[in-house]
């Protein structure tokens, strides 16, 4: 999804903002690590210090779903859904507290087949 965003992109009628922190993991191998926030600046999910690349975003009025893939991309993607009203986060069917999102994503990555 590699982009060079100067401003966070808005979703769910402006209730969710997603900012990307692109970095070059290896020559010509880019990772777009996302940070998901509310308009007041409250951070819901911060993956900017990880190798999780935002592949796509799907939104509905009630939630935003992030399809993520861990660099180097040798395993399948994971989906993290964020409920707009409550801020609840579901990673691959597991309700996950915000501080545990990275751990849950990593566990999913480790259990995924090559």
| Domain regions of the chain by residue span | 9-111
Q: What is the pLDDT of residue 1?
A: 53
d(CA 85, CA 88): 8
> pTM for this structure?
0.90
How high is the mean pLDDT of the chain? Answer: 93
What integer pLDDT is reported at residue 104 of this predicted model? Answer: 96
Q: What percent of the chain has pLDDT over 90?
A: 87
Going by C-beta distance under 8 Å and a sequence separation of 6 or more, which residues neighbour residue 91? 78, 79, 80, 81, 101, 104, 105, 108
pLDDT band at 73 (very low <50, low <70, confident <90, very high): confident
Q: Is 91 exposed, middle or buried, given 0-12, 13-18 or 19+ CB atoms closer than 10 A?
A: buried
Q: H or E element: which one contains 28? A: none
What's the distance, Cα to Cα, between the start and end of the chain in Å? 22
113 pLDDT above the threshold of 90: no
């Amino acid at each position: 999804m590699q982009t060079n965003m100067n401003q966070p992109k808005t979703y769910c009628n402006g209730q969710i903002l997603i900012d990307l922190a692109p970095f070059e993991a290896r020559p010509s191998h880019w990772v777009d690590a996302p940070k998901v926030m509310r308009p007041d600046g409250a951070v819901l999910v911060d993956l900017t210090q990880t190798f999780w690349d935002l592949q796509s975003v799907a939104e509905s009025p009630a939630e935003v779903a992030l399809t993520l893939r861990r660099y180097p991309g040798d395993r399948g993607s994971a989906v993290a859904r964020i409920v707009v009203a409550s801020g609840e986060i579901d990673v691959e069917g597991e309700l996950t507290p915000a501080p545990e999102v990275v751990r849950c994503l990593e566990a999913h990555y480790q259990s995924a087949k090559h």
